[in-house]
Amino acid sequence: MDTILTVTDLTKKFGPLTAVKDLSFTIEKGNVYGILGPNGSGKSTTLGIILNVVNRTAGNFSWFDGSISTHEALKKVGAIIERPNFYPYMTAVQNLKLVCKIKEVPETKIQEKLELVGLWDRRNSKFKTYSLGMKQRLAIASALLNDPEILILDEPTNGLDPQGIHQIREIIKKIAGQGTTILLASHLLDEVEKVCSHVVILRKGMKLYSGPVDSMLASHGFFELRSENMEELKGLLEKNASFGKIESFNGTLTAYLKEEMDAESLNKMLYEKGIVLSHLVKRKESLEEQFLTLTKNN
């Protein structure tokens, strides 16, 4: 598989504060990556470093096979970080023409990309007349002008209204569907969960985890159970070695698995023991729950 980005032992200090510490990860072609972390965990700083706008204190990063300079590599990358930054007095088309000049790509894609983000009708309006959602969509169009190898998005839905968030997500899904590698930094977990296959989790500038979303926690999931006879159910589960922690909340038992078990065999086993369930759901921890477990002060 082709490597798009390799980061090794990256460190950034702002005076006494260490924003990123010994961070290493690689981005492979074709995957959708999420960088997760609470506010101030070093996500934007990391992206700033690999995008040539923040100077690193130590460590290394290399784009593609490392044979070209960072600014040449960035011409094959599409990125938007934080707020969309364009010349306010220029129209969408004028701004995009400028980006084409910088990236050294022909201006032929402007229409296609503006149509993709639904701004073609407003192409001749000045950037300053746009709403935040439109600005963000223009930023995405601009990042896609060169049909990038990788699209980097930093908090793309920040500050948008629900409709705007929905539009951006739809666009991201569409792009991911076309096979473009995406690196998405966000603190909104459901956002990452919906589109990402891999995650890098940061806390206070340190990497807690990087790898596929599925194997984030060595967890076999849990059952949510309800029955007429809750006491007996609880007693039975506690005696079973397959289960770890068992919690009772609002008339529902939550039983965490220590080893793999499917819902069918649990149901069968309980029925044989004379317990009839009125509610049986097998679930995996959501990304949010896994994330909170990981970032808890460990």
Partner 1 sequence: MVRLLQIEFIKLWNNRASKILITSYFVLLTSIALIAAIKFNIGPVKFHLADQGIFNFPYIWHFNTFITAIFKLFLAIVIVSMMANEYSNKTIKQNLIDGLSKKEFILSKFLTVISFALTSTIFVFVVSMILGLVYSDYDELSIIFSDLEFLAAFFVKLVGFFSFCLFLGIFVKRSAFALGFLILWAILEQVMFGLLGWKVMSWESAGRIKDFFPLESMTNLIKEPFTRLSAVQNIGEQIGENMNFDYHVYWYEFLIVIFWTVLFVYLSYALLRKRDL
Q: How far apart are CA 86 and CA 127, in angstroms?
A: 7
Task: Let me know: does 9 contact 46? Beta carbons within 8 Å.
Answer: no
Short-list 236, 249, 241, 220, CA closest to 277: 236
Q: Which residues of this chain interact with partner 1, rule CB under 8 A?
A: 14, 48, 51-55, 69-75, 77, 79-81, 83, 85-90, 94, 97-99, 101-104, 142
Identify residue 9 by its one-letter amino acid code: D
Pick 14 or 271: Cβ nearer partner 1: 14
Judged by beta carbon, residue 101 or residue 174, the one nearer partner 1 is 101
- CA–CA separation, 183 and 297 (whole Å): 26
Instruction: Indicate the residue among 63 and 243 with the shorter CB distance to partner 1.
Output: 63
Q: Which residues in the chain belong to E strands, given as ranges?
A: 3-14, 17-28, 32-36, 58-63, 77-80, 150-154, 181-186, 198-203, 206-212, 222-227, 243-249, 252-257, 277-283
Q: How far is the CB of 43 from partner 1 (least distance, A)?
A: 15
**In the chain, what is the straight-line distance between the N-terminal and C-terminal CA atoms, in Å?**
33
Crossing angle, helix 132-144 and helix 92-103, to 10 degrees?
30
Question: Residue written as tokens 């985890």?
Answer: 209
**Helix or strand or coil: residue 63?**
strand
Q: Give the Cβ contact number of residue 100 at 10 Å.
A: 18
Tokens describing residue 230: 């809750």
Closest contact distance (angstroms) between CB of 143 and partner 1 is: 9
Q: How far is the CB of 166 from partner 1 (least distance, A)?
A: 25
Taking the C-alpha atoms of residue 216 and residue 294, their distance in angstroms, rounded to an integer, is 9
Residue 34 Cβ, how far from partner 1 at the closest point, in Å? 20
CB 79 to partner 1: min, Å:
5
Shortest spacing between CB 108 and partner 1, in angstroms: 17
CB of 100 to partner 1, least distance (A): 10
Complex with partner 1: residue 51 or 185, whichever CB lies closer: 51
Is 73 or 216 the residue whose CB approaches partner 1 more closely? 73
**Based on CB atoms, which residue is closest to partner 1, 47 or 270?**
47
C-beta of 73 vs 266, nearer to partner 1: 73
Give whole-number Cα distances, 165 to 132, 143, 156, 162, 170, in Å.
11, 18, 8, 5, 9
Task: Kindly tell me which of 37 and 148 has the beta carbon lying closer to partner 1.
Answer: 148
CB of 183 to partner 1, least distance (A): 13
